[in-house]
Structure 1
């Protein structure tokens, strides 16, 4: 046989489209040609494959003209994931492997010059895509990647350490040693994170934090330095319920595409991303060539904490507007386009002015010395459209030292998390999603206030000049408050509290 076809997969955003690695051996001037819109990393596979076959004692057809085609030809291919299928295709075309056994699997793996298999990026995304495609074939991956891909149920995954492990399993006959089936490792429960009981005082802000966790709402905290904004934000993940299977798989698949890959110890843990305020727009939303996920996608299913919000570049913050609304981001480049999920919970913190002490109570050790122009310029770094997309905006007041020292411990995170879980269960039973994910057509169906609450909302919206988006977001917050109270309809109490959280705390 002079032609062999090996199944593999590329990476295109979060998708992993199928790729056929076609290898043809022909007589003629010896050559090794690789075609099919291959990146530089893929073209370098020629030397890695040649050395790996030679070092493993396998025959390389030096006297043949080798042509390797990666189909479809218009799909960009990158990284060293095609080393293993190219090597197996050469051996199969040279009649050194059983073609029937070869066709039962899909292969991906980078080869060292000694023939060892190195992990590949996006292993979970590969298995996730294979399952969505029907999983007609099993996956053969490097051992380090196979343990991650095994997290995806419904796909048979086999791991190998060396090229010879795969070649031995694909030899003709029934006595060939089989490949080892990969299994998802067992993980002990994650250690508890920071507890809400550590935060003394700030009962009103803790209430807002509970509301944000219950409905998945975005939150902005404004207060002087040292009032506990960062401390409160760090305790939000401990209030969120465990991740569902599909949500955990999507989060793991995105993490596997990142530069650092997916850490198995983080399985089923909600991601928490806290980029520095010097992060660029590309770092936040994603970018590069090929496009890679940014912080908002790596925070999918979890929390994105932006401390010192006005210090972020203006264009970087404006890039968050569409993902906050749609829950996804599309990165378009000249040659490629990639869409990543970005349904994250935004938690932001900021000072009210450049010095941070605007509105400090009488007798405070430090008073604000900023001019009105400085304050307006500082707060103006946040645009009105961005603030309009933040559901909860709350002031975090400074607590006098004497009162802080005498304040008792608050409720532990476990108690608050139980109320949050009960509220989310009501939302899932009623509408199949959390309140923050309700669309414009669903808000009138599930967020119905009674007559007095509706009148109050209408008057507040008219007086404050709210947009339609602001009106809907207030209704969703009120629906969350009703869920926490166990109420079927939105009453006057829930609506009044929701309006309080919607009042702007900075000058816009």
Structure 2
């Protein structure tokens, strides 16, 4: 006797539809689980057996073998508990086999038979629908998240007994419902973005922030403590436009896997903001795990902003891992059981003090650091990393006479939206939508020669690398969009180069 159903396992944010088969044989009662399960999945044998008994159903006194196919795919977690129980009940004749085989089952089982929520429901349901299996059974607590997927026919259950009754078993009886657990262990992404009008003075830094928002550029701000670097960075999401549908779906899936998604709010449409502390581990920032890695802060920032305050204080290894996602827009984490890919296309914002004490600016300020200490401190930000930062500006202390209130986020966001609309219209036939995404070949072919020659001359003098020249041209196109002109001129390229030199521009 064989019972069949289906479930989904995740590798990163990619779901894989698997077949769950249960075979009952006349032999000594045992329960064997095969198909490359990990330790947590092996424990499903005890959870499933206890959940069936707690639902007033008789566990079959036979040799039970459950296969998770394909056997070559590593499987982890507790999301297949419900599918394993359904397959065993179908093989034992407790429920209609056709009902079990028709649906995809996702959920963890408690020993009392309750169906508990799990992470990654959104990408799992997407994978099921894409594979032509729209009928999905999920825990009641995951209903809002599963309902976000177009085309999915979702059934939510509280207990195994409730599902057995739906499949034709009238003997199932649920136990008293205990407190439900939520799968979230991380803090949810911030939704209340402060207003840019709170920042006093700093016209050059505010202008750099607007340029960064208009073109999707990375930004480095260097200045003493209290100059407003953190205030400016935290207000960048407020002037960014909503995420594109593809980025919104990818970002929501990542937060679903990470356990930080509030499904009642629907898809994430506003850019997320991640600001890990410099004492955070590499696994927390980049992603990690013993078998298949889970998403870190750089993946949770997909479609939004990753802010590293006191950037030189971060471990060098962590800073160097940023180079891959800055170029490719994804992070690949290799572990013994395979490689996991997560989207990681974000705007990187770095804030740094000019020296260990933080007071070196202008002609030295009140700095007590030696020249060697200053060089050693800032050298933690390597040349290859800085070469990938489009905008690099100084944020000097605000004097009382300069501390006038600035524009609100709404005013700046309107100009950013208009600039992005111009860029989107220009590149309507291409896959990119912002200047920071434009490939070098297109820049070389379409930037006017008179404008590009300014960057090329800087290359000849050794002031810019080839990558730096391309990034200056990308910023020049953003400046042209903000000025509402069709193509950048020499002045735009010169201003873009100044924005890379930490000299300030307005």
TM-score by length of 2: 0.91
Q: In the alignment, is the contact (CA less than 8 A) between 2:211 and 2:479 conserved in 1?
A: yes
Q: 1:53/1:191 Cα in 2 relative to 1: closer, same or farther (>3 Å)?
A: closer
Q: In the alignment, is the contact (CA less than 8 A) between 2:22 and 2:91 conserved in 1?
A: yes
Q: In the alignment, is the contact (CA less than 8 A) between 1:195 and 1:235 conserved in 2?
A: yes
Instruction: Give the whole-Å Cα distance in 2 for the aligned partners of 1:65 and 1:113.
Output: 21
- Look up the SS of the partner of 2:141 in the other structure: helix
Q: In the alignment, is the contact (CA less than 8 A) between 1:104 and 1:137 conserved in 2?
A: no
Q: 1:483/1:310 Cα in 2 relative to 1: closer, same or farther (>3 Å)?
A: same
Q: In the alignment, is the contact (CA less than 8 A) between 2:241 and 2:270 conserved in 1?
A: no
Gaps in structure 1 of 5+ consecutive residues:
174-189
Note the 1:451-470 alignment, pairs <5 A. 451=450, 453-470=451-468
- Look up the SS of the partner of 1:51 in the other structure: helix
Note the 1:27-106 alignment, pairs <5 A. 27-62=26-61, 64-106=62-104
- Look up the SS of the partner of 2:242 in the other structure: coil
Q: In the alignment, is the contact (CA less than 8 A) between 2:424 and 2:434 conserved in 1?
A: yes
Q: In the alignment, is the contact (CA less than 8 A) between 2:394 and 2:502 conserved in 1?
A: no
Q: 1:280/1:368 Cα in 2 relative to 1: closer, same or farther (>3 Å)?
A: same
Residue 180 of structure 1: aligned partner: none
Q: In the alignment, is the contact (CA less than 8 A) between 1:128 and 1:253 conserved in 2?
A: no
Instruction: Give the whole-Å Cα distance in 2 for the aligned partners of 1:241 and 1:124.
Output: 24
Instruction: Give the whole-Å Cα distance in 2 for the aligned partners of 1:86 and 1:424.
Output: 49
CA RMSD of aligned residues (A): 2.0
Residue 314 of structure 2: aligned partner: 312
Q: In the alignment, is the contact (CA less than 8 A) between 2:144 and 2:263 conserved in 1?
A: no
1:136 aligns with 2:136: no
Q: In the alignment, is the contact (CA less than 8 A) between 2:118 and 2:142 conserved in 1?
A: yes
Note the 1:355-370 alignment, pairs <5 A. 355-360=357-362, 367-370=366-369
Instruction: Give the whole-Å Cα distance in 2 for the aligned partners of 1:236 and 1:261.
Output: 21
1:322 aligns with 2:319: no
Instruction: Give the whole-Å Cα distance in 2 for the aligned partners of 1:246 and 1:322.
Output: 21
Instruction: Give the whole-Å Cα distance in 2 for the aligned partners of 1:493 and 1:263.
Output: 47
Q: By how many angstroms is 1:450 displaced?
A: 5.1
- Look up the SS of the partner of 1:220 in the other structure: strand
1:224 aligns with 2:220: no
Q: In the alignment, is the contact (CA less than 8 A) between 1:237 and 1:270 conserved in 2?
A: yes
Instruction: Give the whole-Å Cα distance in 2 for the aligned partners of 1:191 and 1:33.
Output: 46
Note the 1:263-412 alignment, pairs <5 A. 264-265=264-265, 267-289=268-290, 290-360=292-362, 367-400=366-399, 402-404=400-402, 407-412=403-408
Residue 247 of structure 1: aligned partner: 247
- Look up the SS of the partner of 1:141 in the other structure: strand
1:23 aligns with 2:19: no
Q: In the alignment, is the contact (CA less than 8 A) between 1:252 and 1:262 conserved in 2?
A: no
Q: By how many angstroms is 1:260 displaced?
A: 4.4
- Look up the SS of the partner of 1:200 in the other structure: coil
Residue 178 of structure 2: aligned partner: none
Residue 491 of structure 2: aligned partner: 493
Q: By how many angstroms is 1:434 displaced?
A: 1.2
Q: 1:195/1:465 Cα in 2 relative to 1: closer, same or farther (>3 Å)?
A: same
Q: By how many angstroms is 1:265 displaced?
A: 3.8
Instruction: Give the whole-Å Cα distance in 2 for the aligned partners of 1:454 and 1:260.
Output: 45
Instruction: Give the whole-Å Cα distance in 1 for the aligned partners of 2:462 and 2:369.
Output: 27
Q: By how many angstroms is 1:307 displaced?
A: 0.3
1:428 aligns with 2:427: no
Residue 414 of structure 1: aligned partner: 410
Q: By how many angstroms is 1:494 displaced?
A: 1.4
Residue 182 of structure 2: aligned partner: none
- Look up the SS of the partner of 2:250 in the other structure: helix
- Look up the SS of the partner of 2:41 in the other structure: helix
Instruction: Give the whole-Å Cα distance in 2 for the aligned partners of 1:208 and 1:352.
Output: 18
Once structures 1 and 2 are overlaid, which stretch shifts more, 101-110 or 219-228? 101-110
Q: 1:40/1:191 Cα in 2 relative to 1: closer, same or farther (>3 Å)?
A: closer
1:147 aligns with 2:144: yes
Q: By how many angstroms is 1:245 displaced?
A: 2.4
1:159 aligns with 2:161: no
Q: By how many angstroms is 1:460 displaced?
A: 2.0
- Look up the SS of the partner of 2:11 in the other structure: coil
Q: By how many angstroms is 1:211 displaced?
A: 0.4
Q: In the alignment, is the contact (CA less than 8 A) between 1:360 and 1:368 conserved in 2?
A: no
Question: C-alpha deviations, 1:432-476, integer Å up to 9, x for none?
Answer: 421111223333345x1352x223222222223422111111111
Q: How many residues align?
A: 479
